[in-house]
Structure 1
Amino acid sequence: MDPTHSTLLHRLLDATTWRAFDVDAEGRILAGHDASGSVQLVELRPDGARVPLTALPGAVSGRYVPGSRRVVVSHDAGGNERAQLSLLDPDAVTAPLGEDELTPLVRDPDHIHGLVEVLPTGEVVYTTNRRNGVDFDLVVHRLADGTETVLYDGGGMVGGATVSHEGTRALMTRPGRPALSSQVLLLVGDTTTELTDAGEHARYGGLEWLPGGETAIVTSDSGRDHLGVAALDVATGHLTWLVTDDAHDVTARLSPDGRRLLVVTDDDGASRLAIHDADGTFLRDVALPAELRAGVADFLTLPRWSPDGTGLAITWTDPATPADVLLVDAERGRAGVVASSREPLADLDLVDPTSHGVPTPDGETVPCFVYAPPEPSGSSVVIVHGGPEGQSVRSFSAVVQALVGDGHTVLVPNVRGSVGYGKRWYSLDDVERRLDSVADLAALHTHLPRLGLDPARSALWGGSYGGYMVLAGLAFQPQLWAAGVDIVGISSLVTFLENTSPYRRAHREREYGSLERDREFLERASPLNRIGDVRAPLFVIHGANDPRVPLSEAEQVAAAVRANGVEVEMVVYDDEGHGLAKRANRLDAYPRAVAFLGRALA
């Protein structure tokens, strides 16, 4: 690879990011910053001070405890996703704290403890699979005396939860029977009431109680193709729609006083922000700073309202913004940058995508972002997101921009099965339709000449389910692709389900199919069973601690491809899980993978 381009990739990978985790009553923002190489907690104070709080080996997140100067810290070990909960006092931090310096709150390193909510009453709500390693329970931990109450132990996964203002009732979601569906439960004491049908093909999420405790805000696509915002009657389960858009997904966050909604509209991978009354009445759009491009409010770190409901802290990313913290003034409808990631990259001419619809032989249209270099070389790289129920959005990607800098045109599709384009689209890859999604890769390849690209010089890149798509493309369409980069990908749907964490197997069989009922199809849809057809060189990246897609998935596919006499490069990181969370490992792996593609597509 050209040294200039190598330097570009290192600069892009070195870019630090910010995340907004919470905001307190005094306007302090609990943020995440990865200057150390992994995301650590930093407090952003109104006077401009930035106080580093943690220095743990792995990524960290957290929430303020309302009415106090305590922070609940969520952390795991080496990317194993077994989250543990601890406490710290920001005012007592004189130097960033290591794990041993945190006050243990919920610790059991063999199990997962997911932070759900921190209540104004000083209670921490979390989920845990410590009962049997498979099913998740919903638990309230009282900080005052350490006592706990189990709100739910009915089995399965807890998708999300919210506890009522008086603390006596809770709403939660758990997976429904159809793929990518969920069910709402009302929890009162020892009584669990199903407010929606487990067999309904619909998503429910974003549950938040409204004052009075009779209704809650929920985001759902019940009876609709796209997500909308509704009021849920907790006595009857009836939905009253508040904000909908027949062409776009709409989600919302409720202010603590129950008066305002931040409404986020997903418009082809870009977020439009607006403030509404809690009854759905539109008040005002939110104007973003002029220097920001079309991008997304990152819902992996949920927008957080200030306790008085006057503003929100959000994480923002776009093709030129690795990740900033914005503070939204809800009354004026304006957002300002509190912590910026853009300055080190300000001299770079980073590329925005154009949006395309790629036709398929069966009459569908695949949404696709195209990042084109000023002087295209004719080569291309197709990057497929994970999930499968994920979505490629208009966000920053060091890999995309570096590949463009090398002269490759980058196609970033939302193949069938992706969210963001309606229920019908995200359902088109369920179980026996899995290979229809793989066929979308061939449609993208057919489209290359219309973009002025050489179909003989195109490669695949993807992580997690995207890694499965890479391997499936190379195995099922060997004549089309010149190379592949597989990151923590599934090589066999059968061995994946057999060897993944037990709690994930129970969850993922709804999407991929059951080992008991669908084994024949799962074998047929597994790239490993067609690996003898692979002729393109392969680059494999995996984390040794991956609890989702075990390392064995990478080891078996690399060995099988090598046995065919085909080039394979494989790198494994002992301190990573499902993906590369540490900058040092990204700086090692991604330049090697990009250089590999440069050779393969020359």
Structure 2
Amino acid sequence: LTEKSPDHFMRGGYFDPTGENVVFAVNYDYDIKRETETFRVVFLDIESRKRTVVARPDRPASISLDVDPKGRYVLYSRSDEDPSGVQFWVASPDGLEDREILNFGPKAKIDAHWTHDGRVLFNTDTINGRRNDSVGIGIYDVTSDEIDWLVRPMEEEPFDSTEVPANSHHALFVRERKARKKAFIYDFDTIRLTDCSVDEGTIWPITELSTTEWLGIYYSSTSAKELVRFNPFSPNPSKFTFLTRMLEYSGVKSEELTPAKDHTWFSVDGRSIHGWLYQPSSPNGKTVVFVHGGPTAHSENELVTSIQYLCSEGFTILDPNYRGSTGYGVEFRELIKDDGWGGMDKDDVMKGIESLIEEGISKTYSVGIFGTSYGGYMSWNAIVHFPTKLLAAAAPICGMTDLIVDYETTRPDLRPYSEEMLGGSPAEVPEIYYERSPINFVQNIKGALLIVQGLRDPNVTKANVAEVEKRLEQHAIPYEKLIFDDEGHGIVRDANVEVLLQRLASFFDEAL
């Protein structure tokens, strides 16, 4: 339906209710045949291949799409007023109507989805100009232009996001606190809210099968993601009907895996930081810190292949949810903006390492770090700023090194994210872009370094590696390199993952 190898970026690919059209977003102008900074929302007639551009946001930004089940509109996001804010609009398939429906302020975060009956379920962290630590949840009627609030932001029983399950008259109200996800099923017909969370692991509802049975995904750090049938009114993993047996088919037993345990410590400003600690049954005396990407994301109690492989080799693993992570409320998510990327979020990780050493879990000169994307950036920051007593080796994967080069070479829709997190563009705040770029401090490196990169990465391009290599060689800093010609942003192909994990294990074993 579209180009096989486009020189631009595409989002979406959703059928309209008739099945005759596909809706997507693309940062490309078909009239002048040129890539653009901003996305266009496009309806494509499958039979005639006619394209109708129905929306043109004013500014570049990440975009989400959802097609009205009644076929009247496509719902899509914009960030026209401020890089940190989100507004939602609707556009008609004929391109004649394109209007804003949800705007709670320039910096307000909003997420929205169509319901089964053609209304819009949304959540926002900002109401009446005030940002809250949890979200309010409402229903917007596109016909009457009225909002019906279902839940106001609460401290006692907060909610943090919403979803609309497929093929049902329900919504999911999601609570994420201390990195644990709990889903509550809201029935639009009975106005009933059902807590379907479990004590061990996570159950994520997908769709209703009957009045007493749902399809869902169950997972934990010692259970792969499994498709299950379950009763949401009395959820109990021992009574789930497992439709898949991913772990069993892999040949790995659950008892062979290392469970995630809560680990909490205090950062430099006294703030409590939480993460996951994995202590293998046969430790080798060496510790590796795994840093999640984002940073607007978080690590859950779930099976992570790289963590489990390193645990099987005897490494203790710390998986920190530093400030800026989701899963702890809006305030914690927004903290990273107080001083930007590579600021106190870096200190959170450093203090986490110190806590392991103080508690006798880890030893000095025996800690390494790795991660992908922002986790790779954090790994770079750690190896250039932490003393080798705390951090002796780093393996950044697809991590930014020069934030100015990254800003200039990354996808257009990601540049506003840098502006949001660092307080402006490189032209507006050049000092912080310089100060927070690890490339400017590589002369401090005393530990071992393994650079991992996918050459097809559109987010953190190979230019990041090329520039940092020049600087490393200028300062005569030794390093190793693992490059994958056929990978993009992250190493995901099975054969490559196997190579990567074995290399990580041998690298950390020798360096620590």
Name the TM-score class by shorter chain. 0.7 to 0.9
Normalising by structure 2, report the TM-score. Answer: 0.85
What amino acid is aligned across from residue 225 of structure 1 in structure 2?
D
- Report what 1:220 is aligned to: 124
Question: 1:320-375 deviations in whole A, cap 9, x for unaligned?
Answer: 23332334566886853222211021265211111122101212111111111235
- Report what 2:483 is aligned to: 572
For residues 314 and 138 of structure 1, the distance between their equivalents in structure 2, rounded to whole angstroms, comes to 31
- Report what 1:385 is aligned to: 292
Question: 1:124-144 deviations in whole A, cap 9, x for unaligned?
Answer: 221112223321111222335
For residues 146 and 84 of structure 2, the distance between their equivalents in structure 1, rounded to whole angstroms, comes to 20
For residues 216 and 477 of structure 2, the distance between their equivalents in structure 1, rounded to whole angstroms, comes to 46
Which moved further from structure 2: 374-383 or 384-393?
374-383
- Decide which of 137, 140, 156 is 2:43's aligned counterpart: 140
1:242, 1:279 within 8 Å by CA — same for their partners in 2? Answer: no
For residues 359 and 287 of structure 1, the distance between their equivalents in structure 2, rounded to whole angstroms, comes to 29
Establish whether residue 110 from structure 1 lines up as the match of residue 37 from structure 2: no
- Decide which of 28, 31, 34 is 1:130's aligned counterpart: 28
Establish whether residue 590 from structure 1 lines up as the match of residue 501 from structure 2: yes
Task: Give aligned-pair identity as a percent.
Answer: 24
- Decide which of 419, 434, 443 is 2:326's aligned counterpart: 419
| Larger RCO, structures 1/2 (Cα 8 Å, 6+ apart) | 1
Q: How many equivalent residue pairs? A: 488
- Report what 1:161 is aligned to: 65
Structure 2 alignment gaps of length 5 or more: 30-34
What amino acid is aligned across from residue 432 of structure 2 in structure 1?
F
Structure 1 alignment gaps of length 5 or more: 1-103, 298-302
Establish whether residue 119 from structure 1 lines up as the match of residue 27 from structure 2: no
1:404, 1:410 within 8 Å by CA — same for their partners in 2? Answer: yes
For residues 330 and 106 of structure 1, the distance between their equivalents in structure 2, rounded to whole angstroms, comes to 43
Matches within 5 A, 1:447-596: 447-452=355-360, 453-479=362-388, 480-512=390-422, 513-596=424-507
Establish whether residue 172 from structure 1 lines up as the match of residue 76 from structure 2: yes
For residues 327 and 83 of structure 2, the distance between their equivalents in structure 1, rounded to whole angstroms, comes to 16
For residues 237 and 418 of structure 1, the distance between their equivalents in structure 2, rounded to whole angstroms, comes to 33
1:377, 1:408 within 8 Å by CA — same for their partners in 2? Answer: yes
For residues 432 and 492 of structure 2, the distance between their equivalents in structure 1, rounded to whole angstroms, comes to 33
What amino acid is aligned across from residue 373 of structure 2 in structure 1?
S
For residues 339 and 269 of structure 1, the distance between their equivalents in structure 2, rounded to whole angstroms, comes to 25
1:226, 1:245 within 8 Å by CA — same for their partners in 2? Answer: yes
Matches within 5 A, 1:31-46: none
- Report what 2:179 is aligned to: 269
How much does 1:504 deviate?
A: 2.7
How much does 1:233 deviate?
A: 4.3
1:226, 1:421 within 8 Å by CA — same for their partners in 2? Answer: no
Which moved further from structure 2: 254-263 or 495-504?
254-263
2:226, 2:245 within 8 Å by CA — same for their partners in 1? Answer: yes
2:66, 2:76 within 8 Å by CA — same for their partners in 1? Answer: yes
What amino acid is aligned across from residue 220 of structure 1 in structure 2?
T
Secondary structure at the aligned position of 1:466 is classed as helix
Establish whether residue 193 from structure 1 lines up as the match of residue 102 from structure 2: no
For residues 50 and 410 of structure 2, the distance between their equivalents in structure 1, rounded to whole angstroms, comes to 33
1:386, 1:464 within 8 Å by CA — same for their partners in 2? Answer: yes
What amino acid is aligned across from residue 45 of structure 2 in structure 1?
R
Normalising by structure 1, report the TM-score. Answer: 0.73
For residues 17 and 213 of structure 2, the distance between their equivalents in structure 1, rounded to whole angstroms, comes to 18
1:176, 1:199 within 8 Å by CA — same for their partners in 2? Answer: no
Question: 1:582-601 deviations in whole A, cap 9, x for unaligned?
Answer: 01011112211111111111
What amino acid is aligned across from residue 187 of structure 1 in structure 2?
A
How much does 1:547 deviate?
A: 0.3
- Decide which of 188, 210, 218 is 1:278's aligned counterpart: 188
Secondary structure at the aligned position of 1:429 is classed as helix
- Report what 1:207 is aligned to: 113
What amino acid is aligned across from residue 430 of structure 1 in structure 2?
K
1:537, 1:566 within 8 Å by CA — same for their partners in 2? Answer: no
What amino acid is aligned across from residue 275 of structure 1 in structure 2?
I
